[in-house]
Copies of this chain bind each other. A is one copy, B any other.
Amino acid sequence: MKLYVIGIGLIGGSMAMELKKCDAAIEVIGVDTNEAHLDEALALGIIDKKGNIADINQADRVILSIPVKESLAMLPHLLDQLKEEALLWDVGSTKATLCKAVEEHSKRDQYLAAHPIAGTEFSGPQAAHLGLFDGKPQILCEAKKTRDDLLSWAKTSFRQMGMYLRFMEADEHDKHMAYVSHLSHISSFMLGKTVLEQEEDEQNIFDLAGSGFESTVRLAKSSPNMWAPIFEQNKDNVLNILSSYIENLENFKRKLENDDIEDLHQQMKHTNQLTTILNGIKHNN
C-alpha cells in the first residue's frame, strides 16, 4: 500500500508513523515544497522516499496536511487524479470551504474531511512522534459522503492510533473551532504582542512569565503560515466570536473603571465553572 503524505510536518508525519507501525508493508512517500523538511523526514525514517505530486495516481492513501488555503486550491485536482480504490483525507483546522469546494466532485466519496485535535505549538517533521494522537478526538465531517469501505478503513485506522471519533457537519465544526480554538490563538497572539510592545525589559518578561503569562501565551508560538489561512477561511465565525470577546473585555474595563469590583468578582466566579467542565466530562469512544 502506497501512502502519500503531502506536507510532512507534525500531524502528517505523526500520522504516517502510526499507520506504518500498524502495517509495516505500507510505503510512505513524502511530498513537500520544503526540501529541508523532506530530507529531515527521510533521515528520521518518517518517510521511505521522496515523491512527486504528479504521481498521486499511484497512491492508495493520501494525507493532505498543509495549510488550509493550499489544501483548498489543491483538493479538487488531487481528487481528479485519484485511482478508484484510493482514499484521501485532509487534517486541516477548517472544514466548510473544503467540503463546499468538492461537494459536486465526481470522486467526492473518496475524500474524508478530518480534523485530529492534536496540534501543538510545535511544527515540522522533527516534532512528529508516535503517540501524538492517543486519547485525542478525531472529528470527521460529513462522513456519510465518504464511501463505506473507505470510511470503515479510516475509522479503524484512527481508532488504532488511539483516537476517539466525533461526527459533525462542516459548518458546525468551523463554528465550534472558532469558539474553542481560533479565538484562543488570537487572544494569545495579541496578548503576546501587547506585552512585547509595553515591556521593554526582556528579562522581566522571562522572570515574571511564571505568574500567568507563560501559559496564556503558549499559543503565540504557533506558526503564522498555518494560522493566517485558518483565520481567513473561517473569517465569519472568527469575527463573530472575536466581537463577543472584545465586548466582554470592554465590559470588564468599564466595571473596573467604575470600581464595580463585586461585578468582576461575580463574572470570575461564574467562569470558574469551566474547571468542572474541563475536569469532569467523560466521552464515549
Contacts and interface: CB of A to CB of B under 8 A. Distances in A.
Interface of A: 93, 117-119, 136-137, 166, 176-177, 179-199, 201-222, 224-225, 227-229, 231-232, 235, 238-239, 241-246, 248-250, 252-253, 256-257, 259, 261-262, 264-275, 277-278, 280-281, 283
Nearest to A220: B271
B265 A180 contact: no
A143 to B, nearest CB: 16
A201 to B, nearest CB: 8
Given A192-B271, A265-B224, A268-B227, A117 B207 contact: yes
Contacts of A274: 192, 196, 205, 217, 220-221
Given A206-B278, A239-B253, 19 more contacts: A118-B210, A176-B204, A180-B195, A180-B199, A187-B187, A188-B216, A190-B252, A192-B274, A193-B267, A193-B271, A194-B241, A194-B245, A198-B241, A214-B278, A220-B271, A220-B274, A221-B272, A235-B256, A239-B257
B212 A215 contact: no
Given A186-B252, A203-B283, A274-B217, A180 B212 contact: yes
Contacts of A203: 281, 283
Q: Is the interface of A mostly helix, strand, loop or mixed?
A: helix
A196 B69 CA distance: 29
A176 B188 contact: no
Nearest to A222: B268
Nearest to A199: B179
A243 B253 contact: yes
Nearest to A280: B206
A256 B277 contact: no
A232 B186 CA distance: 27
Contacts of A208: 117, 137, 176-177, 180-181
9 contacts: A180-B212, A184-B191, A187-B249, A194-B241, A206-B278, A206-B280, A206-B283, A224-B269, A232-B256
A210 B136 CA distance: 8
Contacts of A218: 215-216
Contact of A249 (B201, B206, B242): B242
